[in-house]
Structure 1
Amino acid sequence: MKTKTILTLSAALMATTAMAADKSVTIASWGGSYQEAQSKALFEPAAANTGIEVKQETYGGMSDVRLQVQTGQVTLDIVASGSGSAARAAAEGLLEKLDYSVIDVSTFYPSLYSDYCVGGDVFSTVYAWNTNTYGEDGPQSWADFWDIEKFPGSRAYRGSVAGALEPALMADGVAPEDVYAMLDSEEGIERAIDKIRELKPNISVFWSSGAQHAQLMKDGEVDMATGWNGRFDNARADGGKVAYSFNQALLDYDCFGIPKGAPNKDTAMEFLAEISKAEYQDDLPKYITYGPTNKAAYDTGEITAEVAAGLPSSPDNAALQLPISLDWYAKWETIAAEMYQEMLTE
């Protein structure tokens, strides 16, 4: 009976592999330690379990998707995206609507998926500091990040508007819960940009990627930087003298979308369903300290209480942070980005 069962399972596996043999997806993400973590926790295991061939690329974001869709030459099947970028891309008609009868989000945290993008991880935009420069007692607020007398030294700051204006307003004394109300006008946006202008003489680098800001801190090229918590954790694991705080951090999530006209749309939908399962998401924190969007991942036993305490989506850490407002980005980002770019080129 046991032999028969094994043979039956083997036959089923062979059948599944044969069915998936001609299936493939091309996935684009942002490279560096982030994509490496995605690959190890999600892409490679799911490919092995489904038989779907996975081809990975790095890309420059939704501008690449826009070009492919507009020219009718879509080669990407799945793209990793920030939640705000995905919301804007969906509004432009650049993404396929996801089929949630295929992708099970019944155990996802609320609001960590949309019609066009399913959450892949939760992360935080934090301020980090060089412990050789300041010791373990570095800045504990955005006001501290701006305080060049109390914390002299060079800074790195984001070179695009996403996640750049909110810290500036908090540094200027605006309470976290009032930030997006203040930003709901060009005057409020200008106030935030003026605050960044104030710090600009001390900003050595306006970074453009997660890999870049992590490398800057790892190499000690700047004394402080804004950036993503998981990237800083990996920089520290690689020997960088890096610490950060979740206090006043920006709580956000990354997600996966399917470009409009993707050549392997149905297979992409199947693959997203697979990597959205808790059995994959609970492995992500082994490679990068981002929290799962599928809350069932905390119940599998793979994520210890100690590890959970260092994840952005843990209750204690989430309570310290300002959740990103996708509504604000949908309404204001284009205008704010133009204003921000003007400041950068002054």
Structure 2
Amino acid sequence: MSDRFPTIRPTRRLLLGTALAAPALLAHPARAAGEVIVRTPGGTYDDVMRRHVYDPFTKETGIVVRPVAATASKLLAMFRANNVELDLIDTGDGQLLTLERMGALAPIAYDKWRWSKGEDITPEVRRPQRVANFVYCTVLGYNKEHFASGAPNSWADFWNAGKFAGPRMLSDMASGSANLEFALLADGVPKDQLYPIDIDRALKSMDRIRPQIRRFWDTGALSAQMLSDKEVVAGSIWNGRLQVLIDRGAPLAYTWNEHMIQVQALGIFKDAQNVQGAQQLIDFMLQPEVQAKYSRDLIYGPTNMKAFPLLTAEERARAPGGERSMQTGFYQNATWWEDNRDRVNRTWSRWLQR
């Protein structure tokens, strides 16, 4: 599971089979009828969603929303043990695809929506059993002071350590995926021909830049820290993590060229105790006015196309999935990654040990 947000709160854990459960769940042996339990990334994300989604939803419907933290492995174990202790899953699209293929997810009731309209959701992220609540992206970030005379503007530039010298970073598989797409772009592969990924070619491209890689980051927090502390002067980083540093005055910047758009999505356990409440929460969360508010605070892009006009021109310009983003970026193929994750993990581990 990737860490696109600040550290997950450790105070709540989910009951899995005979594993120990946290007091938060044990205190509610009989679930309240008016409660939806949501798996979230935790931390600041929960604060933003409570302000713009959970509390307004409770006021509108009387249904209480309770966020909890759970890793991908816990979600899988919960389903396999037939011991579903939550209703709505808010996580990376690839993780939901895995659950969908296991038969764990209920259909999204688009035809029952009353706050939102299914046809307003970007088609690329609207699926029968999962729907995106926002998109984020991985960009090429850099230190403006270090590159005062000219900054890298493509992954080919990033790979050109002679012209754009300095320590770098890229993502590790532990972050969710390694930056194989960027390695191929640097090697001359067009954006629309990245998939299926040629793993061998990508790693051969990685060989060329590896001496300049100070570290392969495994969390969003680490990537932000390395760039902020000048441990590296350029690297891949999630746009939200980088924008926070820029807004605080750090001498950092990024290029929109060749950024990778990624998806955070919603799915409902088919055996959840409150499927209906979870359906309502998705509907409420994706309405334009609500989505514009939390997308603005998270610095990510809305998936309801009618939310974009509610953002300022500046907010739209820096929103993944917007008009500018679609012209210069590309969607990561979550299906390819889930189909090939085990193979890439093995190959990546061997490559790192060389």
**2:118 corresponding residue in structure 1:** 105
**2:84 corresponding residue in structure 1:** 74
Match of 1:343 among 342, 347, 351: 351
Give the % identical residues: 28
* 1:116 alignment partner AA: Q
The answer on whether the counterparts of 1:32 and 1:211 sit within 8 Å (CA) in structure 2 is no
* 2:191 alignment partner AA: P
| Deviation per residue, 1:204-260 (Å, 9 max, x gap) | 232223333233333333222212212211122234332111101112321111235
| Deviation per residue, 1:171-217 (Å, 9 max, x gap) | 11112122215x2xxxx211112222332332223222333323333
Q: Structure 2: where are the runs of 5+ without partners?
A: 1-31
The answer on whether the counterparts of 1:124 and 1:249 sit within 8 Å (CA) in structure 2 is yes
**1:84 corresponding residue in structure 2:** 94
The TM-score, its normalising length taken from structure 2, stands at 0.81
**1:317 corresponding residue in structure 2:** 325
Structure 1 residue 22, shift from structure 2 partner: 4.3
In structure 1, how many angstroms separate the alpha carbons of the residues matched to 2:151 and 2:45?
Answer: 25
**1:264 corresponding residue in structure 2:** 274
Moved more, 223-232 or 93-102: 93-102
**Does residue 182 of structure 2 align to residue 167 of structure 1?**
yes
| Deviation per residue, 1:41-88 (Å, 9 max, x gap) | 33343333333222223333x222112112233223222222233223
**1:224 corresponding residue in structure 2:** 234
Q: Rate the CA distance shift 1:334–1:115 in 2: closer, same or farther, 3 A.
A: farther
**Does residue 129 of structure 2 align to residue 116 of structure 1?**
yes
Match of 1:176 among 174, 191, 213: 191
Question: Once superposed, what is the RMSD of the aligned Cα atoms?
Answer: 2.4
Structure 1 residue 113, shift from structure 2 partner: 1.6
In structure 2, how many angstroms separate the alpha carbons of the residues matched to 1:309 and 1:177?
Answer: 23
Q: Rate the CA distance shift 1:59–1:196 in 2: closer, same or farther, 3 A.
A: farther
**1:150 corresponding residue in structure 2:** 163
The answer on whether the counterparts of 1:86 and 1:117 sit within 8 Å (CA) in structure 2 is yes
**Does residue 69 of structure 2 align to residue 58 of structure 1?**
yes
Q: Rate the CA distance shift 1:229–1:57 in 2: closer, same or farther, 3 A.
A: same
The answer on whether the counterparts of 2:94 and 2:337 sit within 8 Å (CA) in structure 1 is yes
The answer on whether the counterparts of 2:258 and 2:329 sit within 8 Å (CA) in structure 1 is yes
In structure 2, how many angstroms separate the alpha carbons of the residues matched to 1:110 and 1:208?
Answer: 30
- How many residues align? The count is 318
**Does residue 147 of structure 2 align to residue 139 of structure 1?**
no
| Deviation per residue, 1:265-302 (Å, 9 max, x gap) | 22111111111111211112331221110111124xx3
**1:329 corresponding residue in structure 2:** 337
Q: Determine helix, strand or coil for the equivalent of 2:195.
A: helix
In structure 2, how many angstroms separate the alpha carbons of the residues matched to 1:48 and 1:55?
Answer: 14
The answer on whether the counterparts of 2:134 and 2:295 sit within 8 Å (CA) in structure 1 is no
| Deviation per residue, 1:83-107 (Å, 9 max, x gap) | 2332233112333332222344121
**1:15 corresponding residue in structure 2:** none
**2:308 corresponding residue in structure 1:** 298
Structure 1 residue 163, shift from structure 2 partner: 5.7
Match of 1:252 among 241, 245, 262: 262
| Deviation per residue, 1:8-41 (Å, 9 max, x gap) | xxxxxxxxxxxxx841122222235545444433
Q: Structure 1: where are the runs of 5+ without partners?
A: 1-20
Match of 2:60 among 35, 49, 71: 49
* 2:73 alignment partner AA: S
Structure 1 residue 167, shift from structure 2 partner: 0.5
* 1:177 alignment partner AA: D
* 2:295 alignment partner AA: P
* 2:192 alignment partner AA: E
The TM-score, its normalising length taken from structure 1, stands at 0.83
Match of 1:127 among 115, 119, 140: 140
* 2:319 alignment partner AA: L
* 1:47 alignment partner AA: T
Task: After the TM superposition, list the runs of 4 or more consecutive aligned residues in structure 1 that deviate by more than 4 angstroms.
Answer: 32-36
The answer on whether the counterparts of 2:46 and 2:67 sit within 8 Å (CA) in structure 1 is no
Moved more, 268-277 or 62-71: 62-71
Q: Rate the CA distance shift 1:263–1:224 in 2: closer, same or farther, 3 A.
A: farther
